[in-house]
Amino acid sequence: MKKTRKIITVSILLLSSIISYGQKLCLDSINVQIDNKIELSLSIYEYSNLVENIEKDLQSLHSILKDNKEIPENGSYSILYEPDKLLSIKQTGPIEKIIWENGKQTRYQFNNQCNINSNNYYLKIQYNELEKVVSDSLIIKIKQVIDSTSTIKGRLSKTLNYSFQGNCVTHNEQFDKINGQKDAIFFKGGVGVNLIKNQPVIDLALEIGFAFSKKGILKNQIYLSYNQLIVYNDNSIFNINSNSFFNLGYRYNLSNTFKNPNWIGLELGYLVSKEGNFFGKNTFKFGVNWEVGKYITISPQLYFSVDLLLCPAIRIGFGL
């Protein structure tokens, strides 16, 4: 029973560690060109109250900048604004961008840049004339674009492109793109080292499944797997029994960065092929699997049969 408690305790600790980490998850991005005089790049971290937050932050920024004498009169500069925290200005070189106009590439040069770094979004504004940034019409146009984007947002992360000529807005769908990872079918193979009934057991594993993307990051996996466990009898490498389990599993990615995934999941298996007496008839297994490193997993497991015989175990897997 003590071993069983240890296995259950480890499983609970693994499940309770479901804490997302890493950089903020960018839900969608929006590029906006306004009369070929301003270019906006907006990264959205949270849609809730997005319009209200941007409007409040821009109004606060406007009130600071309108009569500020610290802005350089000559040369290029960059503004960094963290709402309710700080505003800094430094001189920089001109910024050059290629803008699409009437289906053709046209080169424009922006001298100045303003970056607003909020908890809910990141907004970069490139411009030449400060009056364009502190105007009320800029807020109105940003709100118009966000309202349009909110009606077409979905599970996948997208970059959407808009342009204004006067008060007329155009959604340039031909330049939109899907960001990051997409839904995918995956196939894996590997080996595992198990400790079952105080006896080392080797297994060969095959797995096929489907991974679902959420905003550019693979977040959920559903899979079927097959484990062939090789049991050595009497500590002899020539006297072995083969037992096979068929499993159904689910994993969730705790990370918000696709470069550093952190998968944790549950798996339920059933004994489909039996040799010897190492396992009883109608044996099931339940496990919690955690990817502790690239291609390495740890899985506390519990084997049980219909007569409620419990057998705690642990598996260390090495996958391809």
**Full set of structural domains in the chain with CATH:** 2-13+181-319 (2.40.160), 28-178 (no CATH)
- Does 240 score more than 90 pLDDT? no
- Does 21 score more than 60 pLDDT? no
The C-alpha atoms of residue 310 and residue 277 are separated, in whole angstroms, by 15
Residue 152's pLDDT is what? 66
Tokens of 237: 């490498």
**Whole-number average pLDDT of the chain:** 83
pTM above 0.85, yes or no: no
Residue 235's pLDDT is what? 61
Do 285 and 245 touch, CB atoms closer than 8 A? Answer: yes
Nearest Cα residue to 220 out of 137, 292, 312, 155: 155
- Measured distance between the N- and C-terminal CA atoms of the chain, rounded to whole angstroms: 35
Report the b/e string of 199-213 with b at 16+ CB within 10 A.
eebebebebebebeb
User: How does pLDDT run across 181-236, given as a tens digit for each residue?
Assistant: 788 899 999 999 999 988 899 999 999 999 998 877 889 999 999 999 998 876 66
- Does 95 score more than 70 pLDDT? no
Mean pLDDT, to the nearest integer, of 71-90?
86
The pLDDT > 70 percentage for the chain reads 83
Mean pLDDT, to the nearest integer, of 248-267?
89
Residue 19's pLDDT is what? 40
Residue 123's pLDDT is what? 94
Phi, psi (rounded to 5 degrees) for 24 = -60, 145
- Does 104 score more than 90 pLDDT? no
For the CA atoms of 201, 316, 208, 220, what is the dihedral angle to 10 degrees? Answer: 150
